[in-house]
C-alpha cells in the first residue's frame, strides 16, 4: 500500500461540473501540497495546507488531519483545468523536510 493514495486515478468531466479529487495518507505530516502538472512536465504548487481549508479562485482545498485525508475541489470546471493533480505530503525527519508524492489524478475537462 502506498503511503499517499489518490482517487480517482483518472477523471473526465464536462465543462462546468464540480470536481473533487481525494488524497489519503498514512504517515504523520506537517503539511500537504496540492500540485498541478501540465503536459510537458511543469509542476505548479496550488496549495499548501496544514489544517482547515484554503480557497483560490475556483479551487478549494481541505484537510482533515485526524482522518489523514485531503480533498481538492474545482468549481465550474473548464477545459484549461485539464492536467494531472498531485497530492504531496511533507513530514519532518532528523530536522529536514521530506516529501512523498501520490501518483496523481489525471483530469480531462471536455468543452
Partner 1 sequence: DTGVSQDPRHKITKRGQNVTFRCDPISEHNRLYWYRQTLGQGPEFLTYFQNEAQLEKSRLLSDRFSAERPKGSFSTLEIQRTEQGDSAMYLCASSSDRVNEKLFFGSGTQLSVL
| Distance (Å, whole) CA 64 – CA 54 | 12
| Measured CA distances, 17 to 2, 10, 42, 51 (Å) | 29, 15, 25, 26
Q: Which is nearer to partner 1, 18 or 97 (CB)?
A: 97
- Tell me whether residue 64 is exposed, middle or buried, using C-beta atoms within 10 angstroms of its C-beta: 0 to 12, 13 to 18, 19 or more: exposed
Query: Residues 20 to 59: which contact partner 1 by CB under 8 A?
Result: 30-31, 33, 35, 40-45, 48, 50
> In terms of CB distance, is 12 or 45 closer to partner 1?
45
Place of cell 470536481: 19
Binding flags for partner 1, 74-93, as an x/- string (CB under 8 A): ------------x-x-x---
- Candidate residues 12, 14, 75, 103; the one interacting with partner 1 per rule CB under 8 A: 103
Interface residues with partner 1 (CB under 8 A) are 4, 30-31, 33, 35, 40-45, 48, 50, 86, 88, 90, 96-104
Amino acid at each position: 500500500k502506498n503511503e499517499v493514495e489518490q482517487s480517482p486515478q483518472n477523471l473526465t468531466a464536462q465543462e462546468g461540473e464540480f470536481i473533487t479529487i481525494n488524497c489519503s495518507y498514512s504517515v504523520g505530516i506537517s503539511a500537504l501540497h496540492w500540485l498541478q502538472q501540465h503536459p510537458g512536465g511543469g509542476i505548479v504548487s496550488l496549495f499548501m495546507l496544514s489544517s482547515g481549508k484554503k480557497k483560490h479562485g475556483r479551487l478549494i482545498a481541505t484537510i482533515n488531519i485526524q482522518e489523514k485525508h485531503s480533498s481538492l475541489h474545482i468549481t465550474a470546471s473548464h477545459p484549461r483545468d485539464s492536467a494531472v493533480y498531485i497530492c504531496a505530503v511533507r513530514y519532518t525527519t532528523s530536522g529536514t523536510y521530506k516529501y512523498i508524492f501520490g501518483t496523481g489524478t489525471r483530469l480531462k475537462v471536455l468543452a
